[in-house]
Structure 1
Amino acid sequence: MKNKGVMALGALVGAAIMYGIVTFFGPDAIADQDVSLRPGDLQLVAQGKKIYDANCASCHGARLEGEANWRERGPDGLLPAPPHDETGHTWHHPDQVLFELTKYGPAAMAGGDYKSAMQGYEGVLSDEEIIASLSYIKSRWPKDVIARHDQINQSAAH
Protein backbone atom coordinates (compact mmCIF):
# COMPACT_ATOMS: atom_id res chain seq x y z
CA MET A 1 0.00 0.00 0.00
CA LYS A 2 2.86 2.34 0.81
CA ASN A 3 4.34 1.82 -2.68
CA LYS A 4 1.03 2.79 -4.31
CA GLY A 5 1.05 6.04 -2.33
CA VAL A 6 4.60 6.77 -3.44
CA MET A 7 3.69 5.94 -7.05
CA ALA A 8 0.59 8.18 -6.89
CA LEU A 9 2.69 10.98 -5.46
CA GLY A 10 5.20 10.43 -8.27
CA ALA A 11 2.42 10.72 -10.85
CA LEU A 12 1.13 13.89 -9.22
CA VAL A 13 4.61 15.39 -9.16
CA GLY A 14 5.05 14.37 -12.80
CA ALA A 15 1.83 16.12 -13.77
CA ALA A 16 2.93 19.25 -11.90
CA ILE A 17 6.29 19.16 -13.64
CA MET A 18 4.60 18.73 -17.00
CA TYR A 19 2.37 21.74 -16.27
CA GLY A 20 5.46 23.76 -15.39
CA ILE A 21 7.24 22.72 -18.59
CA VAL A 22 4.27 23.59 -20.78
CA THR A 23 3.88 26.92 -18.96
CA PHE A 24 7.59 27.70 -19.27
CA PHE A 25 8.18 26.47 -22.82
CA GLY A 26 4.77 27.37 -24.22
CA PRO A 27 1.81 25.25 -25.29
CA ASP A 28 3.17 24.51 -28.76
CA ALA A 29 6.49 23.11 -27.50
CA ILE A 30 5.04 19.63 -26.96
CA ALA A 31 3.00 19.40 -30.15
CA ASP A 32 5.78 18.37 -32.55
CA GLN A 33 5.21 14.62 -32.72
CA ASP A 34 4.35 11.60 -30.60
CA VAL A 35 7.55 10.17 -29.13
CA SER A 36 8.02 7.00 -27.07
CA LEU A 37 11.36 5.87 -25.71
CA ARG A 38 12.09 2.14 -25.95
CA PRO A 39 14.54 1.16 -23.19
CA GLY A 40 13.62 -2.52 -23.61
CA ASP A 41 14.66 -2.59 -27.29
CA LEU A 42 18.20 -3.94 -26.89
CA GLN A 43 19.26 -3.23 -30.47
CA LEU A 44 18.03 0.38 -30.25
CA VAL A 45 19.69 0.81 -26.83
CA ALA A 46 23.02 -0.48 -28.19
CA GLN A 47 22.77 1.99 -31.07
CA GLY A 48 21.81 4.69 -28.55
CA LYS A 49 24.90 4.03 -26.44
CA LYS A 50 27.13 4.63 -29.46
CA ILE A 51 25.27 7.83 -30.29
CA TYR A 52 25.37 9.00 -26.66
CA ASP A 53 29.11 8.25 -26.39
CA ALA A 54 29.84 10.20 -29.59
CA ASN A 55 27.54 13.19 -28.99
CA CYS A 56 26.57 13.53 -25.33
CA ALA A 57 29.14 11.94 -23.02
CA SER A 58 31.67 14.75 -23.40
CA CYS A 59 29.34 17.01 -21.39
CA HIS A 60 26.89 14.69 -19.62
CA GLY A 61 29.51 12.10 -18.67
CA ALA A 62 30.35 8.58 -19.80
CA ARG A 63 28.34 7.23 -16.84
CA LEU A 64 25.54 9.82 -17.24
CA GLU A 65 26.92 11.66 -14.18
CA GLY A 66 26.82 15.20 -15.61
CA GLU A 67 29.13 18.04 -14.66
CA ALA A 68 29.95 19.21 -11.16
CA ASN A 69 27.69 21.86 -9.63
CA TRP A 70 25.16 21.39 -12.42
CA ARG A 71 22.50 23.40 -10.57
CA GLU A 72 24.66 26.54 -10.32
CA ARG A 73 25.32 28.91 -13.21
CA GLY A 74 28.98 29.37 -14.08
CA PRO A 75 30.77 32.67 -14.65
CA ASP A 76 29.50 32.58 -18.25
CA GLY A 77 25.90 32.52 -16.96
CA LEU A 78 25.33 28.98 -18.23
CA LEU A 79 24.31 25.94 -16.24
CA PRO A 80 26.70 22.98 -16.43
CA ALA A 81 25.40 19.82 -18.09
CA PRO A 82 23.05 17.95 -15.73
CA PRO A 83 23.34 14.25 -15.01
CA HIS A 84 21.12 11.90 -16.97
CA ASP A 85 21.24 9.18 -14.31
CA GLU A 86 18.68 8.86 -11.52
CA THR A 87 20.30 11.72 -9.54
CA GLY A 88 19.40 14.31 -12.17
CA HIS A 89 16.12 15.68 -13.43
CA THR A 90 16.04 14.02 -16.86
CA TRP A 91 13.59 11.35 -15.75
CA HIS A 92 11.23 14.07 -14.45
CA HIS A 93 10.41 15.03 -18.04
CA PRO A 94 8.12 13.05 -20.36
CA ASP A 95 9.57 11.42 -23.48
CA GLN A 96 8.17 14.16 -25.72
CA VAL A 97 9.92 16.93 -23.80
CA LEU A 98 13.22 15.02 -23.65
CA PHE A 99 13.05 14.50 -27.41
CA GLU A 100 12.32 18.15 -28.16
CA LEU A 101 14.97 19.43 -25.72
CA THR A 102 17.51 17.22 -27.50
CA LYS A 103 16.35 18.05 -31.01
CA TYR A 104 15.91 21.81 -30.65
CA GLY A 105 17.97 22.64 -27.55
CA PRO A 106 16.62 24.30 -24.40
CA ALA A 107 17.24 27.84 -25.67
CA ALA A 108 15.12 27.28 -28.79
CA MET A 109 12.30 25.76 -26.74
CA ALA A 110 12.37 28.42 -24.03
CA GLY A 111 12.85 31.30 -26.41
CA GLY A 112 13.72 34.80 -25.40
CA ASP A 113 16.93 35.36 -23.49
CA TYR A 114 17.33 31.83 -22.10
CA LYS A 115 21.00 30.83 -22.25
CA SER A 116 22.25 27.28 -22.58
CA ALA A 117 25.41 25.61 -23.80
CA MET A 118 23.24 22.71 -24.94
CA GLN A 119 22.89 22.80 -28.69
CA GLY A 120 19.97 21.35 -30.52
CA TYR A 121 20.76 18.24 -32.55
CA GLU A 122 18.33 18.90 -35.39
CA GLY A 123 20.28 18.35 -38.59
CA VAL A 124 23.01 16.51 -36.64
CA LEU A 125 21.07 13.46 -35.45
CA SER A 126 17.99 11.94 -37.03
CA ASP A 127 14.83 11.64 -34.96
CA GLU A 128 15.46 7.90 -34.61
CA GLU A 129 19.02 8.56 -33.40
CA ILE A 130 17.70 10.99 -30.77
CA ILE A 131 15.15 8.39 -29.65
CA ALA A 132 17.92 5.75 -29.55
CA SER A 133 20.19 7.90 -27.37
CA LEU A 134 17.34 8.78 -25.00
CA SER A 135 16.26 5.12 -24.89
CA TYR A 136 19.83 4.23 -23.89
CA ILE A 137 19.73 6.84 -21.11
CA LYS A 138 16.41 5.53 -19.81
CA SER A 139 17.66 1.93 -19.95
CA ARG A 140 20.35 2.84 -17.40
CA TRP A 141 17.90 4.05 -14.73
CA PRO A 142 16.88 1.81 -11.81
CA LYS A 143 13.58 -0.02 -12.32
CA ASP A 144 11.73 2.18 -9.81
CA VAL A 145 12.83 5.34 -11.64
CA ILE A 146 11.76 3.84 -14.98
CA ALA A 147 8.36 3.05 -13.44
CA ARG A 148 7.99 6.63 -12.16
CA HIS A 149 9.02 7.99 -15.56
CA ASP A 150 6.43 5.77 -17.23
CA GLN A 151 3.81 7.29 -14.92
CA ILE A 152 4.96 10.79 -15.87
CA ASN A 153 4.48 9.83 -19.52
CA GLN A 154 0.98 8.52 -18.77
CA SER A 155 0.08 11.74 -16.94
CA ALA A 156 1.43 13.81 -19.84
CA ALA A 157 -0.71 11.86 -22.31
CA HIS A 158 -3.95 12.79 -20.55
Structure 2
Amino acid sequence: MKKMLFIFAISFVLVSCSKEEPSKSVTSESTAVVAVKPVITNVTPMPASQADFDFSKMALGGKLFKQNCATCHGDNAEGTPDWRKRNPDGTLKPPPLNGTAHTWHHSKELLMSIITMGTANQGGNMPAWGDKLSQQEIDAILTWVQSKWPEEIYTSWLEINRR
Protein backbone atom coordinates (compact mmCIF):
# COMPACT_ATOMS: atom_id res chain seq x y z
CA MET A 1 0.00 0.00 0.00
CA LYS A 2 2.77 2.41 0.94
CA LYS A 3 4.58 1.46 -2.27
CA MET A 4 1.53 2.38 -4.37
CA LEU A 5 1.16 5.77 -2.69
CA PHE A 6 4.90 6.39 -3.13
CA ILE A 7 4.78 5.38 -6.81
CA PHE A 8 1.75 7.60 -7.37
CA ALA A 9 3.47 10.56 -5.69
CA ILE A 10 6.68 10.07 -7.68
CA SER A 11 4.70 9.74 -10.93
CA PHE A 12 2.83 12.94 -10.16
CA VAL A 13 6.06 14.83 -9.43
CA LEU A 14 7.77 13.53 -12.56
CA VAL A 15 4.82 14.44 -14.78
CA SER A 16 4.52 17.86 -13.14
CA CYS A 17 8.20 18.60 -13.73
CA SER A 18 8.10 17.75 -17.43
CA LYS A 19 9.87 20.33 -19.63
CA GLU A 20 7.56 19.82 -22.59
CA GLU A 21 5.43 22.86 -23.24
CA PRO A 22 1.80 22.43 -24.21
CA SER A 23 0.70 23.31 -27.72
CA LYS A 24 -0.09 27.02 -28.01
CA SER A 25 -3.23 26.60 -30.08
CA VAL A 26 -5.52 23.79 -31.00
CA THR A 27 -8.37 24.17 -33.43
CA SER A 28 -11.49 22.08 -33.37
CA GLU A 29 -10.51 20.54 -36.72
CA SER A 30 -7.01 19.50 -35.69
CA THR A 31 -6.24 15.93 -34.82
CA ALA A 32 -3.27 15.26 -32.61
CA VAL A 33 -1.44 12.03 -32.05
CA VAL A 34 0.41 12.02 -28.79
CA ALA A 35 3.13 9.55 -27.97
CA VAL A 36 3.00 8.68 -24.31
CA LYS A 37 6.23 7.59 -22.68
CA PRO A 38 5.95 5.64 -19.43
CA VAL A 39 7.37 7.58 -16.51
CA ILE A 40 8.00 4.44 -14.48
CA THR A 41 8.65 1.21 -16.29
CA ASN A 42 8.86 -1.27 -13.42
CA VAL A 43 5.70 -0.91 -11.34
CA THR A 44 4.71 -3.49 -8.79
CA PRO A 45 0.92 -3.82 -8.85
CA MET A 46 -1.04 -3.32 -5.67
CA PRO A 47 -1.31 -6.64 -3.85
CA ALA A 48 -4.63 -8.35 -4.50
CA SER A 49 -5.45 -8.34 -0.79
CA GLN A 50 -5.35 -4.54 -0.69
CA ALA A 51 -6.94 -3.92 -4.07
CA ASP A 52 -10.31 -3.31 -2.41
CA PHE A 53 -9.07 -0.23 -0.52
CA ASP A 54 -11.14 2.80 -1.43
CA PHE A 55 -8.68 5.72 -1.50
CA SER A 56 -11.32 8.38 -0.72
CA LYS A 57 -12.47 6.29 2.25
CA MET A 58 -8.86 5.86 3.33
CA ALA A 59 -8.23 9.63 3.08
CA LEU A 60 -11.33 10.34 5.17
CA GLY A 61 -10.21 7.70 7.68
CA GLY A 62 -6.77 9.30 7.96
CA LYS A 63 -8.29 12.71 8.58
CA LEU A 64 -10.69 11.33 11.21
CA PHE A 65 -7.90 9.29 12.84
CA LYS A 66 -5.74 12.38 13.23
CA GLN A 67 -8.68 14.35 14.67
CA ASN A 68 -9.92 11.70 17.09
CA CYS A 69 -7.39 8.92 17.67
CA ALA A 70 -3.87 10.29 17.17
CA THR A 71 -3.74 11.95 20.59
CA CYS A 72 -3.50 8.50 22.17
CA HIS A 73 -2.42 6.18 19.34
CA GLY A 74 0.06 8.54 17.59
CA ASP A 75 -0.12 10.29 14.22
CA ASN A 76 0.93 7.15 12.36
CA ALA A 77 -0.87 4.66 14.62
CA GLU A 78 2.43 3.83 16.34
CA GLY A 79 0.87 3.76 19.83
CA THR A 80 2.63 4.45 23.11
CA PRO A 81 6.25 3.20 23.22
CA ASP A 82 5.69 1.24 26.45
CA TRP A 83 2.18 0.09 25.56
CA ARG A 84 2.72 -3.36 27.12
CA LYS A 85 3.14 -1.83 30.60
CA ARG A 86 -0.02 -1.03 32.50
CA ASN A 87 -0.78 2.43 33.82
CA PRO A 88 -0.60 2.92 37.61
CA ASP A 89 -4.40 2.43 37.76
CA GLY A 90 -4.04 -0.95 36.00
CA THR A 91 -5.44 0.14 32.64
CA LEU A 92 -3.60 -0.60 29.43
CA LYS A 93 -1.82 2.09 27.44
CA PRO A 94 -2.79 2.77 23.81
CA PRO A 95 -1.26 0.03 21.64
CA PRO A 96 0.10 0.50 18.15
CA LEU A 97 -2.54 0.02 15.47
CA ASN A 98 -0.02 -0.20 12.61
CA GLY A 99 0.30 -3.99 12.59
CA THR A 100 3.04 -4.23 15.22
CA ALA A 101 0.69 -5.13 18.06
CA HIS A 102 -2.50 -7.17 18.34
CA THR A 103 -5.11 -5.12 16.45
CA TRP A 104 -4.94 -7.44 13.45
CA HIS A 105 -5.81 -10.42 15.67
CA HIS A 106 -9.37 -9.10 15.96
CA SER A 107 -12.25 -9.28 13.50
CA LYS A 108 -13.49 -6.10 11.86
CA GLU A 109 -16.74 -6.57 13.75
CA LEU A 110 -14.91 -6.59 17.09
CA LEU A 111 -12.75 -3.61 16.12
CA MET A 112 -15.87 -1.65 15.13
CA SER A 113 -17.43 -2.57 18.47
CA ILE A 114 -14.34 -1.53 20.47
CA ILE A 115 -14.24 1.87 18.77
CA THR A 116 -18.00 2.34 19.12
CA MET A 117 -18.28 1.31 22.78
CA GLY A 118 -14.76 1.96 24.10
CA THR A 119 -12.93 -0.32 26.52
CA ALA A 120 -14.16 0.83 29.92
CA ASN A 121 -16.23 -2.37 30.31
CA GLN A 122 -13.01 -4.38 29.74
CA GLY A 123 -10.87 -2.48 32.23
CA GLY A 124 -9.46 -0.11 29.63
CA ASN A 125 -9.61 3.64 29.31
CA MET A 126 -10.41 4.10 25.62
CA PRO A 127 -13.49 6.28 25.28
CA ALA A 128 -16.54 5.23 23.32
CA TRP A 129 -16.73 6.96 19.94
CA GLY A 130 -20.17 5.73 18.88
CA ASP A 131 -21.84 8.97 19.95
CA LYS A 132 -19.29 11.11 18.08
CA LEU A 133 -18.57 9.11 14.92
CA SER A 134 -20.92 7.35 12.52
CA GLN A 135 -20.39 3.68 11.65
CA GLN A 136 -19.24 4.81 8.19
CA GLU A 137 -16.63 7.10 9.77
CA ILE A 138 -15.44 4.32 12.08
CA ASP A 139 -15.20 2.01 9.08
CA ALA A 140 -13.14 4.66 7.24
CA ILE A 141 -10.79 4.92 10.23
CA LEU A 142 -10.32 1.15 10.21
CA THR A 143 -9.59 1.23 6.47
CA TRP A 144 -6.88 3.83 7.11
CA VAL A 145 -5.46 1.82 10.02
CA GLN A 146 -5.36 -1.33 7.88
CA SER A 147 -3.49 0.58 5.17
CA LYS A 148 -0.67 0.95 7.71
CA TRP A 149 -0.35 -2.82 8.14
CA PRO A 150 2.41 -4.67 6.29
CA GLU A 151 1.12 -6.84 3.43
CA GLU A 152 1.76 -10.11 5.28
CA ILE A 153 -0.18 -8.88 8.34
CA TYR A 154 -3.13 -7.76 6.22
CA THR A 155 -3.13 -11.09 4.36
CA SER A 156 -3.09 -12.98 7.67
CA TRP A 157 -5.95 -10.83 8.95
CA LEU A 158 -7.99 -11.60 5.83
CA GLU A 159 -7.39 -15.33 6.34
CA ILE A 160 -8.40 -15.17 10.01
CA ASN A 161 -11.60 -13.32 9.10
CA ARG A 162 -12.58 -15.77 6.36
CA ARG A 163 -12.90 -18.60 8.88
Task: Give the TM-score, by structure 2 length.
Answer: 0.66
Question: What letter matches 1:61 in structure 2?
Answer: G
Match of 1:121 among 117, 124, 129: 129
1:115 deviates by 2.1
Matched position secondary structure for 2:111: helix
How many pairs align? 113
| Comparing 88-97 and 114-123, the one that deviates more | 114-123
Contact kept in structure 2, 1:39 and 1:139, CA below 8 Å: no
Question: What letter matches 2:149 in structure 1?
Answer: W
1:76 deviates by 2.0
Question: What letter matches 2:115 in structure 1?
Answer: T
Alpha-carbon separation, structure 2, partners of 1:39 and 1:127:
19
Q: 2:143 matched to 1:130?
A: no
Q: How does 1:102-121 map to 2 (within 5 A)?
A: 102-108=115-121, 114-121=122-129
Task: Give the TM-score, by structure 1 length.
Answer: 0.68
Match of 1:54 among 64, 67, 70: 67
User: Pairwise CA RMSD of aligned residues?
Assistant: 1.4
Q: 1:87-131: CA deviations, max 9, x gaps? A: 1110111110100000011234xxxxx421101101100000000
Alpha-carbon separation, structure 1, partners of 2:151 and 2:105:
14
Q: 2:53 matched to 1:40?
A: yes
Contact kept in structure 2, 1:48 and 1:135, CA below 8 Å: yes
Alpha-carbon separation, structure 1, partners of 2:160 and 2:65:
23
Alpha-carbon separation, structure 1, partners of 2:108 and 2:52:
11
| Bigger proportion of residues as helix | 1
Q: How does 1:9-28 map to 2 (within 5 A)?
A: none
Match of 2:103 among 85, 90, 100: 90
Matched position secondary structure for 1:82: coil
Larger relative contact order (CA 8 Å, sep ≥ 6):
1
Matched residue, 1:154: 162
Structure 1 residue ranges without an equivalent (≥5): 1-37, 109-113
1:69 deviates by 1.6
Structure 2 residue ranges without an equivalent (≥5): 1-50
Alpha-carbon separation, structure 2, partners of 1:107 and 1:95:
19
Question: Which structure has the larger Rg?
Answer: 2
Question: What letter matches 1:150 in structure 2?
Answer: L
1:39 deviates by 6.2
